[in-house]
Amino acid sequence: MQNPMRETVYHQKRDHGGGLDAAIVKFGGTRADWLDLSTGINPTPYPVAEFAPDAWTALPDTGANLTLLDAARRFWSVPDGAALLAAPGASSLIATLPGLMPAGRVRIEPPTYNEHAAGFEAHGWSVVQSGDGEARVMVHPNNPDGRLWEAADANAALTVIDESFCDVTPDQSLIHLADQPGVIVLKSFGKFWGLAGLRLGFAIARPETIDRLSAWLGPWAVSGPALQIGAAALNDVDWANQTRERLARDAARLDDLVLAKGAELVGGTSLFRLYRVDQAQAWQDRLARAHVWSRVFPYSETFLRLGLPPADRWDQVEAAL
């Protein structure tokens, strides 16, 4: 697949969205004043119901875990030949997966989510941007530009397909590859459902791969509250469908506002938008003076990424722009 953004020179750096505390120190205000658009987290999260009392006091039981995995299998249409593993966030899986094979070369085409390269490098792998490798990482849709991969791209002995943002476009999912040898599909619960603090993620792959990952994570990897919330959310198909429609409308609204100020749309998903601007750092500073936090990137002077505001904070975005 051709990378549409060769204009940037990419240097690996473990940077992320967030960092609101540092922004407050520099630009003032309180956390309540600020609108954090630097992440791609749904600003209208799944409504959390009350927990059963033993969700906090008892060790998570096998039944609760199986209930969650059954809901996940149905929601994502997981192939019969694939197994699922719930984990304390997709990040814990990203850090673990490189240990499935002896270290070699892993192909990770930039720009993309940088934790994958960091995870492989921590296991002794060499990260390459093109050519052949024993492993390959495909963030699908990609963060930050939203580009999509094809099934034919999953061509390495170990292929990681990170679908953390794919729940906004389920028709594009490559989940049907999850029962193929060497393929691992990752799912994140924090983005689409807006519950990043819950720390819940999933690996989907052949049973022998899931067995190895499960042994490394150990028992009770996912908390009782996360098991309950995750199962309820994954069974709520109506909420998911309504949320996709709302996110699409809000993403289009954000595009209208930002493009009217001279930016150019590069890509993204309906959870985050990537724009090309004249000076990204100047844009970030201007927005920050109005207590709106955005995302810029160390490898580009022109890329600005914005997430979506909650329904009652659009006026603040318009004023900041």
φ, ψ (nearest 5 deg) of residue 194: 70, 25
What is residue 180's predicted lDDT score, i.e. its pLDDT? 98
What is residue 6's predicted lDDT score, i.e. its pLDDT? 36
Tokens of 118: 């960091």
Examine residue 102 and say whether the peptide bond preceding it is cis (omega within 30 degrees of 0).
no
What is residue 50's predicted lDDT score, i.e. its pLDDT? 87
Q: Which residues of 191-229 are buried (b: 16+ CB within 10 A; e: fewer)?
A: bbbbbbebbbbbbbbbeebbeebbeebeeebbbbbbbbb
What is residue 53's predicted lDDT score, i.e. its pLDDT? 84
Handedness of CA 151, 235, 53, 50 (dihedral sign): positive
pTM: 0.93
What is residue 13's predicted lDDT score, i.e. its pLDDT? 52
Instruction: Find the distance separating the first CA and the last CA of the chain, reported in whole Å.
Output: 35
What is residue 2's predicted lDDT score, i.e. its pLDDT? 39
Query: Is 48 in contact with 229 (CB distance < 8 Å)?
Result: yes
What one-letter code names the amino acid at 111?
P
Identify the structural domains of the chain with CATH numbers, from first to last.
20-44+238-320 (3.90.1150.10), 54-235 (3.40.640.10)
Residue numbers in the chain where pLDDT is lower than 70: 1-18
